Structure 1
Amino acid sequence: MRIKSITIGLVILTCFQLQAQDIVKDTLLLDGVNVFSSRLEEYGTADKVVELEGKAIDFSQQTNLSDLLKRYSALNIRSYGVGGLSTVSFRGAGSSQSAVLWEGVSLQSPTNGSADLSMIPISFIDNVALQYGAGSAMFGSGVIGGSIQISTQDQVFKQNPFSLELLQQVGSFDRTYSGINISKSNENYAFTFRAFNEYATNDFPYYNRFSQSEVTMTNSAVHRYGVMVEPSFRINDQSDIKIKYWGQSNAVELPPTAGQSQQRDDKQDDVFHRTTAIYTRDVVSGRLKAQSSWLYGKLIYNHNAPSISNMWINEVQSDFVLPQTTRLQVGINYTYETAEVNSYGGIAPSRNQAALFALLKKLFWDKVEVAVSAREVLVDGETTPFVPSLGINYQMRPNYALKFKAARSFRIPTFNDLYWVSGTDSGNPDLRPEKGVSLEVGQIFELGENNQFNVEVTAFSNYINDWIQWQPNDQGNWRPVNVVEAWLRGVEASGDYKVSFNKDLGLFITAHYTYTKATKEKIEEDGNEADLGNQLIYVPTHQGVFTASLQYHQFMLSVNQSFTGNQYTTADNNERWQLDDYSLTDVSVKYQWQKGKHAFDLAFRVNNAWDNDYEARSTYPMPGRHYNLSLNYTFN
């Protein structure tokens, strides 16, 4: 019955839009101006959102998204060594509860539920927005802690014969990164081509705390390369279509951990293809958008049989500008997932997801903006938790605003959770979706022309039920069960300050701090009661980052300082096995030169300037002091 309702809803939605198009008859134009922002910008009224590209952050000195977020956000980036798997945690939530969205499409794997940040090259990104807190009503399953939204710039249909950008980096441990971006456009067509190639041996020295000796990292080379192609076509004054293709190959050697005495030659190869096509059409007081995406991934571990996943995602939405400062978006999403994994015991699972969603925003008294959103998802005909969201932004004064948000969120189990079979370990087909209920309140203070100084402080609380956890039974066989109830709460503070002393000298400062208390509120049957109230593993209580950039003429000096508090690695919070807190300092200097259509950026950076020993994940050491030189050339 629910599936029939969703199907009928899609037909009504499509027919309504077609009828609206017939009424327009191409006589009422929007003058080619896109008055509709992204879903997050338009309806994330009370969400804490940090947009990195608008700050004094040098993207060209980074290699991948993981490097960028480690230096310029207070997020918990969980890295299995240099070149290894790197995932994100928002507000104490797990990596599978914090999504990465590319052009609005979730990159979370249907097999393990996470996305590897180290496999997202920085030259394939123009925009990065960090959305904190529950977002399932807007973006679907998996957005319990927050989401990372990445995209490229929307191409503009204007006469531009040719643009070229070349990026070259060299650094310690034989690291090289080469990138090229080419674009061309006219009034009816736009095209961008991007490519990159990255290589590093990562044979850095480190102090092994187990052997208590200086050793060199082995079997840790990385080789990644890929292309992104983005053609766009302007059909007429009201409609256009944009196509984006991203293909990439990743070969990663897996080094031994610090506690292993034997050398290893393990290797993992990942290949993926990602394609999305977006059609938009302006109609009377509204816009129709249809998007179809296909995500293919193949993983080969040590030349074993490949693990293959496919996701086909289709979404249609209608946006309306209504009277009395009201906006409305309604839509439907259909996702089909499949996987072929050798460890699924001969099962080739597939899954159908169908969702209806609606978002409404209204402005009251020119000061209070209210956004309401809701989503209902069916998985193979079975309902998931209904997820509504309410956000209120009260602009109390021109420079002071209060925000409040209440939301539900959810995450469906992964294929690994449901179907894994390896030895005596197995998945659990009876798992329930994880469910979250969150509240947050924040305030924003701005001062000076063009927000010269601004501070945002947010307090949050997120209670998660049925958290899926793999645990051993009495026979020592591991199996996932819905056992954990966790309470994630804390405070976030961030601020920016920019000042121009004169036309040649300017200063930009940005800082982020997070206090997170994440505790287990319920234990499994026959569990250890001493675990109640303990901090969840790999969730630092304190985390912060500070960046100061001083620009004089064409020179810029930047200092980046980050701090990560201690992290427990066992449920009983045994301090003997905890990861000690660590602090990292990066210092860079950059020179910019431009003449006519030619522009050069030359930068040199010292990473971990004080040569500190640290681990972001237990037994996975990170490098000490190392260097990076980058040159960026632009012709436009």
Structure 2
Amino acid sequence: MLAQSVKDTTSLLEEVIIEGNRLNIFTTGNKIQRIDSATIQRFKSGNLGDLLTFNSHLFIKSYGIGNLASISSRGTNASQTAVLWNGFNVQSPTLGQADFSYFPVSFADDIEIQYGGAGALFGSGATGGVINFNSTPKFNNGLTFGASLNGGSFNSCQQSANVSLSQKNFVSVLKVFNYSTENNFPFYANGYKVRQVNADVKQKGLMSENFFRIKKDQQLNVRIWLQDNYREIPPSIASRSGNQPMLFVNETLESDFLRLSSEWKKSGKVASYFVRTAYFNDRMSYVDTLANMHAITRFHTSISEAESILRLGRKHLLNIGLHNTFNQATSNGYPDSPSQNRLALFGSYKFSFLNDHWRTVISLRQEMVRGKLIPLIPSAGVEGKLVKFLSARANVSRTYKVPTFNDLYWNPGGNKSLKPESGWSGEISLTASQFTKSRSRNSVMLTFFNSNIENCIMWLPAGGTWSAQNIQSVWSRGLESIITFNKEIRDFKFGLVVLYNYVVATNQKARMANDNIVGKQLIYVPVYSGQATVELVYKGFYVNYIQNYTGNRYYTTDNSKVVEAFQLGSIVAGKNFKMGSSFLNVNVRVNNLWNESYQVVLNQAMPMRYYQAGLSYVFNKSNKSIN
């Protein structure tokens, strides 16, 4: 069904084999949203930014179809939300953020969002939350083959395929995709209807995943992710005079990456052990022919981690681990090849009380960066049932983020004396739930959050150039709500999800004398936003409609200038067919249904109404249900 699942307060301390990870077990008190398989299926032809825009409380700052998509969670910036691939942080050490347009949804089996600070569990960069992009093996599932073809407006086309061989002790999965679009969409600029230029996007990628059951209680996995990305950077609306760009800017960005990971785990009733390692190799090549500029950036990341989860009696769990991340980069903007090593010791203790109706967790992390100790990072959370239908959760945590390589070393302007950003965040949630006879869950959740961040890094003019400085103090607070309703009447299934966000994120410190930014909303953080999703299913037919609202966003720090609010509607209709061991889906989608002229980022054109159609096929030899 369409409803996004938010983690309930079901006990995790029963006498079973310990197989979960930190995000599943030790985030007690945090709001966790799991994107369901039906939603992933509907967005499989898109990227992670598209999916999160219409299915989460997160604000995705998009520069256009297939172009840069960055994130803001509860008023934090793009570098303050950790992005994990099966538990490994893939944030760039140079920019400090991840581009969500580079994550094809077809490569994910499940997607999880933790809202709020998670520095004690996942280290630097987990100030606003954590996005976990996962793949999960299914053993003894036979031979599965899937393929999809999607096409639409602006000569867009996406092909993807996957094949999986799943036996009792071995699973091998291969996924590939190819995507291209000319992005020559019409839009309005300075009173003229024009077409976008220099906006081609091309992506292709491969993911190979192999899982081995060495013994009944031991498993080894090896993953490989290769991807090549090419995008042209279109001129801004401001650069147009009449119906043509003032100057034809030919900017392009090529990037490719290799991601390797391996994990060994031993699971038991009393103790589980995990040893994992990863290596990332990323390259970016930026070309601006008008400025005669060609900049190449490369970085290498190696991550090693070992941890154990121990059961200390029926109601107690202990997690202890050691983590190391090593980053090295080269760039035209660096005088040499800087490197950074981060070593961390972390632990969590979880226990249940009041007849297992309540659980609490305490976590600590001590990290050393460039040979210096970061202040101890603690967190604590509690959750449980107040009455039969009403549950509550609360969490408080310290957060931090180390400066990026660009902040430290960029020439000119880098500042090697920068301090890590640090602060505190907390939240309280109340959830009222009703479970129906059809096992659907109707619920209302309200989450109140608060966050303070000191030593925020800003680039400011200094001596004729720009320099990174620890100057900003940010206070974010607000409310998130989610309402889910499901109803079944014979063969009809109806679902409704309504998300609402109220975020006040303000500067608390002046940068200089007479600086008019204190108490002002951060740029590109909407105070109000939300969406409503309605779905109707009948005997394999389905119709899904999403209405999304994004409020005004300021693009000046004194809040004197604004990017206007907008509303977007999208509708998808399709039919699922089951033919023996085969499954077929046919769907059509209309995006920006009401033909809205809008901008997410100032002077960055966005498409008006456009169309997509898709066909996907899955064959499963074992005749098991495939999502």
**Alignment TM class, shorter chain as reference:** over 0.9
Q: What is the alpha-carbon distance in structure 1 between the residues aligned to residue 450 and residue 43 of structure 2?
A: 36
Q: Match of 1:600?
A: 584
Query: Could you give the per-residue CA deviations for residues 238-281 of structure 1, whole angstroms, max 9, x where no partner exists?
Result: 21100111000001111101111211111110000001101001
Q: Match of 2:510?
A: 523
Q: Match of 2:551?
A: 565
Counterpart pick for 1:279 among 248, 261, 264: 264
Query: Could you give the per-residue CA deviations for residues 258-306 of structure 1, whole angstroms, max 9, x where no partner exists?
Result: 1112111111100000011010013560111000000110001118252
Structure 2 regions of 5+ residues with no counterpart? 1-15, 240-245, 288-292, 621-627
Q: Match of 1:87?
A: 70
Q: Match of 1:374?
A: 364
Q: What is the alpha-carbon distance in structure 1 between the residues aligned to residue 347 and residue 284 of structure 2?
A: 36
SS of the counterpart of 2:174?
strand
2:279 counterpart letter in structure 1? W
Q: Match of 2:527?
A: 541
Counterpart pick for 2:414 among 417, 427, 449: 427
Distance 1:228 1:479, change over 3 A: same
Q: What is the alpha-carbon distance in structure 2 between the residues aligned to residue 171 and residue 385 of structure 1?
A: 52
Tell me if 1:101 matches 2:84.
yes
Q: Match of 2:7?
A: none
Q: What is the alpha-carbon distance in structure 2 between the residues aligned to residue 284 and residue 494 of structure 1?
A: 36
2:590 counterpart letter in structure 1? V
Q: What is the alpha-carbon distance in structure 2 between the residues aligned to residue 446 and residue 413 of structure 1?
A: 42
Q: Match of 1:3?
A: none
Tell me if 1:442 matches 2:434.
no
**Shift of the alpha carbon at 1:586?**
0.4
Aligned 1:147-166 pairs, distance under 5 A: 147-156=130-139, 158=140, 160=142, 162-166=143-147
Q: Match of 2:395?
A: 405
Q: Match of 1:354?
A: 343
Q: Match of 2:28?
A: 45
Counterpart pick for 1:486 among 474, 494, 503: 474
Distance 1:496 1:603, change over 3 A: same
Give the TM-score of the pair, scaled to structure 1: 0.91
Q: Match of 1:234?
A: 213
Structure 1 regions of 5+ residues with no counterpart? 1-32
SS of the counterpart of 2:46?
coil
1:151 counterpart letter in structure 2? N
Q: What is the alpha-carbon distance in structure 1 between the residues aligned to residue 342 and residue 57 of structure 2?
A: 33
Q: What is the alpha-carbon distance in structure 2 between the residues aligned to residue 480 and residue 589 of structure 1?
A: 49
SS of the counterpart of 2:499?
strand
Tell me if 1:220 matches 2:209.
no
1:490 counterpart letter in structure 2? G
SS of the counterpart of 1:583?
strand
Tell me if 1:175 matches 2:164.
no
**Shift of the alpha carbon at 1:374?**
1.0
Q: Match of 1:612?
A: 596
Q: What is the alpha-carbon distance in structure 1 between the residues aligned to residue 195 and residue 476 of structure 2?
A: 39
Distance 1:310 1:61, change over 3 A: closer
1:542 counterpart letter in structure 2? Y
Q: Match of 2:166?
A: 185
Query: Could you give the per-residue CA deviations for residues 507-531 of structure 1, whole angstroms, max 9, x where no partner exists?
Result: 0111211100000011123350x21
Q: What is the alpha-carbon distance in structure 1 between the residues aligned to residue 265 and residue 81 of structure 2?
A: 28
Pick which of 277-286 and 609-618 moved more.
277-286
What is the CA RMSD across the aligned residues, in angstroms? 1.5
Q: What is the alpha-carbon distance in structure 2 between the residues aligned to residue 389 and residue 305 of structure 1?
A: 41
Q: What is the alpha-carbon distance in structure 1 between the residues aligned to residue 42 and residue 543 of structure 2?
A: 15
Q: What is the alpha-carbon distance in structure 1 between the residues aligned to residue 410 and residue 340 of structure 2?
A: 16
**Shift of the alpha carbon at 1:63?**
1.1
Distance 1:602 1:61, change over 3 A: farther
Counterpart pick for 1:632 among 613, 616, 620: 616
Check the 8 A contact 1:391/1:405 in 2, yes or no.
Answer: yes
Q: What is the alpha-carbon distance in structure 1 between the residues aligned to residue 403 and residue 149 of structure 2?
A: 41
Tell me if 1:328 matches 2:318.
yes
Q: What is the alpha-carbon distance in structure 1 between the residues aligned to residue 158 and residue 552 of structure 2?
A: 32
Distance 1:322 1:55, change over 3 A: farther
**Shift of the alpha carbon at 1:336?**
0.7
Check the 8 A contact 2:276/2:305 in 1, yes or no.
Answer: yes
Q: What is the alpha-carbon distance in structure 2 between the residues aligned to residue 532 and residue 140 of structure 1?
A: 29
Q: Match of 2:450?
A: 461
Check the 8 A contact 2:455/2:470 in 1, yes or no.
Answer: yes
Q: What is the alpha-carbon distance in structure 2 between the residues aligned to residue 487 and residue 501 of structure 1?
A: 47
Q: What is the alpha-carbon distance in structure 2 between the residues aligned to residue 396 and residue 169 of structure 1?
A: 47
**Shift of the alpha carbon at 1:223?**
0.5
1:270 counterpart letter in structure 2? S
Check the 8 A contact 2:18/2:267 in 1, yes or no.
Answer: no
**Shift of the alpha carbon at 1:185?**
2.0
Q: What is the alpha-carbon distance in structure 1 between the residues aligned to residue 182 and residue 92 of structure 2?
A: 27
Aligned 1:194-205 pairs, distance under 5 A: 194-205=175-186
Q: What is the alpha-carbon distance in structure 1 between the residues aligned to residue 145 and residue 88 of structure 2?
A: 28
Aligned 1:233-272 pairs, distance under 5 A: 233-260=212-239, 261-272=246-257
Q: What is the alpha-carbon distance in structure 2 between the residues aligned to residue 590 and residue 382 of structure 1?
A: 56
Check the 8 A contact 2:18/2:309 in 1, yes or no.
Answer: no
Tell me if 1:513 matches 2:500.
yes
**Shift of the alpha carbon at 1:61?**
5.2
SS of the counterpart of 2:172?
strand
2:613 counterpart letter in structure 1? L
Check the 8 A contact 1:370/1:391 in 2, yes or no.
Answer: yes
1:551 counterpart letter in structure 2? V
Counterpart pick for 2:48 among 41, 65, 68: 65
Give the TM-score of the pair, scaled to structure 2: 0.92
- Please identify runs of 4+ aligned residues in structure 1 that moved more than 2 A: 33-36, 54-62, 303-306, 448-452
SS of the counterpart of 1:66?
helix
Check the 8 A contact 1:155/1:232 in 2, yes or no.
Answer: no
Q: Match of 2:623?
A: none
**Shift of the alpha carbon at 1:381?**
1.3
SS of the counterpart of 1:259?
helix
Check the 8 A contact 1:53/1:126 in 2, yes or no.
Answer: no
Q: Match of 1:383?
A: 373
Counterpart pick for 2:489 among 482, 501, 505: 501
**Shift of the alpha carbon at 1:452?**
2.2
Q: How many residues align?
A: 592
Distance 1:527 1:224, change over 3 A: farther
Tell me if 1:295 matches 2:280.
yes
Q: Match of 1:30?
A: none
Check the 8 A contact 2:37/2:109 in 1, yes or no.
Answer: no
Pick which of 555-564 and 235-244 moved more.
235-244
1:262 counterpart letter in structure 2? L
Q: What is the alpha-carbon distance in structure 2 between the residues aligned to residue 34 and residue 367 of structure 1?
A: 21
Q: What is the alpha-carbon distance in structure 1 between the residues aligned to residue 269 and residue 530 of structure 2?
A: 47
